[in-house]
Amino acid sequence: MRRREFITLLGGAGLPFIHVMLGNVGGARSDGAVDRLSLPDSIEFNGESYRLSWSSHPTPYYYKQEYLPPGQTSERFQRMVLVEATVRGIDVNGAVAAQVSMLNTRKSTDPTVNFAAFKNPNGEIILDFVLSAQDPKGEDVVEWNAYRYAAFRGKGGESGVLLFGISRRAYGDDTTNFLRRLKSARPAEINALATHPLPVIRPMG
């Protein structure tokens, strides 16, 4: 079972970067950690090192890689960096619009859902959002994500949409404090994401 049982891909090759909250946030993973974007095994973000923990290439034109700090696992992490890329079928505005549509749909069953989008003059968009669910044991899980969407041209001349994102989670009794801390931590996290050099990728088959 993939790490993104909590927020997982929908829509196939035509609509990458569309995610929806699901209830079963736990479970083992059978997918591997194979770099398909010509990136290093580890990524430095905001003073912390994140190592490639999982990757997927579910369609010929869509790539997804996730990075975790040492000591954290895909099944129960607190911080994550993710890199996704599509080389066909959607632009930055379309990717963000599809994500927002899914979040609006989710609001009817998840009262925690909240989101905001920021557009930069260079055409990049940052979307940040909060979601919640329960794991199979009934423990509350809250997740905050900030996704930076940008048009890219890869090392090999490919072009498409790049998603560079961060994810933060809390569990059980810590979820209330997590949301309280997020109010003050969010601006700095978003600024770090917005100013971080984007990964230079080269999608591989």
**In this structure, how many other beta carbons lie within 10 angstroms of the beta carbon of residue 159?**
11
| Tokens 């619009």, located at residue | 97
Rounded Cα distance, 199 and 154, in Å: 10
pTM, entire model: 0.86
- The one-character DSSP state at 138 is S
Write the pLDDT tens digit of every residue in 181-191.
Answer: 999 999 999 99
What number of other Cβ atoms are within 10 A of residue 30's Cβ?
7
Residue type, 3: R
For the segment 134-147, the average pLDDT, to the nearest whole number, is: 91
Q: Which residue has the tokens 């090999």?
A: 156
Q: State phi, psi for 111 to the nearest 5 degrees.
A: -70, -10
Structure tokens at 16: 């990458």
The per-residue pLDDT for range 12-41, each reduced to its tens digit, is 333 455 543 323 344 444 457 999 999 999
Diameter of the chain measured on Cα atoms: 48
Q: Where are the domains of the chain?
A: 3-195
Please compute the mean of the pLDDT values over residues 107-136 and round it to a whole number: 92
